[in-house]
Chains A and B, each alone.
Chain A
Amino acid sequence: MIELVDVVKHFGDVRAVDGISLTVPKGQFFCVLGPNAAGKTTTIKILVGLMRPNQGLARVAGFDVQQQPLEARRRLAYVPDFPFLYDKLTPWEFLRFTGQLFLMDDDHIRRAAADLIPRFQLEEWLHKPIESLSHGTRQRVAITSALLHDPEVFVIDEPMVGLDPHHARVVKDTLRERAQRGMTVFLSTHQTSVAEEMADRVGIIHRGRLVAVGTPAELHSKAGTDGALERAFLSITEGERQQPTPVA
């Protein structure tokens, strides 16, 4: 489960995150949408502990990210839009390394990998240097390594970048399946279609504030729109655009 309580983050005199409060229960698939520079990535950075908020707190699986960072991170997996991988390692060596960081023994790593590797079709690439892999394959390696320790909370930023339709489907199905087994998913994207297809609940962040949250149907109802979620998104963010920029 994820909890954000009145989180505020300033960048100089700009409020990048302006009092966001949100609870994502265990096993829920939550998508966050928002225009560029809305505050999505900053919110994620606070959630995963890369950044300290000026105010408020973030909890992962019941642990305060700032006060109990190791407990929180053991239950968390984070895949950024451009994930870091060791170029000179092979995908298998990288999986083993991340597994060991999460205190998994070799047997445990092998068992977990045996399920994920065929699913993400990494067999062919498993013992080749990561530097020789395409962007999409690297993305699949990053997602596999993040899922290896069976996290309680999975945070992912723009997961479909660089993935072909087949592998995008695999990622969606895997995340949906894991969510059904109790993993909380927090997915940030610009693609309203992904949110519409996958999310149990959608949040819209605009100018640092959580301006709308609910099921796709609830967002339509709030915006007075119907059809694609894109319409509701545009209606809500256009309405908010008339407001002045918040400052600290």
Chain B
Amino acid sequence: MSRFPSPLALLIRVNALSSWRRLLALRHESRLLVGVIAAFLSGYLVLSFLLFDLGLRFIGRFPGLGSLLVERLLFLLFAFLFSLLLLSNLVIAYTNLFRNRETAFLLTAPVPVESVVRWKLIESSLLASWAFLFLIAPLLAAYGISNNVAWHFYPVTFVFVGIFLVIPGVAGAAAAVTLARHLDRKAFQLTALCAVVGFILLVAWRFRPEPVADEQLEARIQAVIDRLLVNTRFAQSPVLPSYWLSAAVQNWAEGALPVAGFFALVLLSNALLLSRLAALFLGRPFYSAASSVQSRSSVFAEWAWFRRLEERRRSMALLLRDSFLAESSPSEGSQPPQPLARWTPSDHLDRLLQMLRLPPDARAIIAKDIRVFWRDTTQWGQSVLLFGLLTVYIINLRHFTRQLDSQFWISLVSFLNLGACALNVATITTRFVFPQFSLEGRRVWLVGLAPLGLARAVRIKFWLATLTALVLTVSLTVLSGNLLRLEWPRIVFFAGATTLMTFTLNGIAVGLGVLYPNFRETNPSKIVSGFGGTFCLVLSFLYILTSVVVLGVGSPWGWRDNESHPGRAMAAWTVFVLFSALAGAVPLRMGLRKAATTEL
């Protein structure tokens, strides 16, 4: 046996030590902020446990069908989570294997590529799976309690889940290596985005709601359950790893230990086989893929038709620019275009911003931020995905309007829509607006030393983000109101609430982004996953929860009747406006003050 630790053991030790120190660094953060985040996370666990417990007991009481529905629900949930884990492992493994400085460092050290792949596979699986564990822990706890299981159910389930996570981890990494050999980063992101959109459309089509005729209303529950059981049968396909996990967990809970053991062994053998295959055979393809990733200018540029198209587009832009200059130059002596024009092709964005009559410094910041956002496929891809999901949901509301005939349900759905829309905005502001200031990074002096100053630059970013988000949120609110066939006063009510919430959420994200900057990091998702980003998300969620509850409790329209309650509504709106102003303006003002006094 070698007296030297293996490279894999060294890498695990070094990275575990780094993570531990990152955790210890929380001691230097404000206790209040750490407490708020800890309370939020614990609150989530407790609340989701209570909701799962309530839901499982409710479904379990269905006469004759309860246990069948619970069983199907678990199969379905694990099947969906398995698909999400596959996708998340694919994306994280790609970034971790091919866009990571540690990987490049290790490839020049005497570390076998197989060890590099093994370590990166472990790291990617952990990064991709912690949220999965966080999501299912309260569900499994609720399932165990509602089934009165023995104590050993919990540690055994934990082991089952741990084994299960290996499978999407290895499959995602293998898919990332295969794709990287053929696609560059942009093409990869586009493919991943198309795969997600395709998956959503498939799910939307498979589970599309069907209109229920009046004569069917009597037997509606039975029909819906029949339909549900038929449509969800795929989750019980015995080739799905999620099926093995669900079967192992459910059989253990029921005391059928030999059957549970069988499914656990199926899981274990597959996990071991896949890990062994990855350890033995993924090294060489990984090295080829890593070399390919560094060797490509663009996948599209490898196709002659694309190069010709680009060349034609460039020539056309220069031609337009030349003719524009020729037209705008004095007719006398009609001078030819300056040589400089050859290098500055026409730009629609600049022309559009000029039409808005904004000051040049504001134009420059806005144009830069829009270009950076547009050229980063991840940023607009995730935004499209989030708002796309919300749009699909809102458009599907039209199928339910027939069933939503009671005042209570109409109110509930419209307030839930407000919450969903605001949560979407919070996700977007935390993911994209919060890291904006940090992303100026080592170039922050460029903006900071310019005549406009950092504070004005931050203010411009706030307005740009808020106005862009407003276009989307108000449109979706009005659309959902129309589809729910709400009267105009209600639509205006919700549009007003959405507007104010959009301003506040952007204020929180911009303000905290300046208060908790990370100039070292260039990856926005890593900036967001730090302390400031987590705090921004927690604060945004707490703000949304409070606002929706306040507005719901003080709704101008009764929950059970259609009578108006102007006094209650006025009081609720006053609280909502004051709370929004406080929650948005305080971090924004603090951020602006810090930006104005930042030493570059």
Is the pairing of A and B real?
yes
Closest residue of chain B to A11 (Cβ to Cβ) is B297
A103 and B108 within 8 A (CB): no
B21 and A70 within 8 A (CB): no
Q: Is B147 an interface residue (CB 8 A)?
A: no
Residue-wise, chain A 69-84 has the 8 Å CB interface mask toward B (1 for contact) of 1100110101010011
B291: which A residues are within 8 A, CB to CB?
Answer: 50-52
B17 and A48 within 8 A (CB): no
How far, in whole Å, are A100 and B7 apart by their CA atoms in the complex? Answer: 8
A88 and B21 within 8 A (CB): yes
A78: which B residues are within 8 A, CB to CB?
Answer: 108
A69: which B residues are within 8 A, CB to CB?
Answer: 113
Q: Is B102 an interface residue (CB 8 A)?
A: yes
B27: which A residues are within 8 A, CB to CB?
Answer: none
Residue-wise, chain B 278-303 has the 8 Å CB interface mask toward A (1 for contact) of 00000000011011001111100110
B4 and A100 within 8 A (CB): yes
Q: Is B3 an interface residue (CB 8 A)?
A: yes
A88: which B residues are within 8 A, CB to CB?
Answer: 17-19, 21-22
A50 and B108 within 8 A (CB): yes
A12: which B residues are within 8 A, CB to CB?
Answer: 296-298, 301-302
Q: Is A120 an interface residue (CB 8 A)?
A: no
Closest residue of chain B to A83 (Cβ to Cβ) is B105
A129 and B4 within 8 A (CB): no
B107 and A50 within 8 A (CB): yes
- With contacts A49-B108, A100-B4, A105-B4 taken as known, whether A87 is within 8 angstroms of B10 at the C-beta atoms is no
Residue-wise, chain B 104-144 has the 8 Å CB interface mask toward A (1 for contact) of 11011111110000000000000000000000000000000
- With contacts A11-B295, A12-B297, A84-B102 taken as known, whether A129 is within 8 angstroms of B21 at the C-beta atoms is yes
Q: How far is the CB of B261 from chain A (nearest CB, A)?
A: 41
Q: Is A174 an interface residue (CB 8 A)?
A: no
> Which bucket holds chain B's interface residue count?
35 or more
Q: Is B312 an interface residue (CB 8 A)?
A: no
B110 and A51 within 8 A (CB): no
Beta-carbon contacts under 8 Å, A53-103 to B: 69-70, 73-74, 76, 78, 80, 83-84, 86-89, 93, 97-98, 100-103
Counting chain B CB atoms within 10 Å of each CB, the highest count among A73, A78, A87, A101 belongs to A101
Contact partner, B101, options A13, A14, A49, A84, Cβ 8 Å: A84
Contact partner, B10, options A14, A51, A97, Cβ 8 Å: A97
Closest residue of chain A to B292 (Cβ to Cβ) is A52
Q: How far is the CB of B106 from chain A (nearest CB, A)?
A: 8
Q: How far is the CB of A81 from chain B (nearest CB, A)?
A: 12
Q: Is B364 an interface residue (CB 8 A)?
A: no
How far, in whole Å, are A72 and B19 apart by their CA atoms in the complex? Answer: 32
B101: which A residues are within 8 A, CB to CB?
Answer: 84
Contact partner, A14, options B109, B297, B520, Cβ 8 Å: B297
- With contacts A70-B112, A88-B21, A93-B17 taken as known, whether A101 is within 8 angstroms of B107 at the C-beta atoms is no
Which of A's residues lie within 8 Å of B, judged by CB?
A: 9-14, 45, 48-52, 69-70, 73-74, 76, 78, 80, 83-84, 86-89, 93, 97-98, 100-103, 105, 129, 131
**Which 6 pairs between the two chains have the least Cβ-Cβ distance?**
A88-B18, A52-B291, A84-B105, A12-B297, A88-B21, A84-B101
Other contacts beyond A52-B288, A86-B14, A89-B18: 17, CB < 8 A: A10-B295, A12-B298, A12-B301, A12-B302, A13-B301, A13-B307, A51-B294, A52-B291, A76-B108, A80-B104, A84-B101, A84-B102, A84-B105, A86-B15, A87-B18, A100-B5, A103-B4
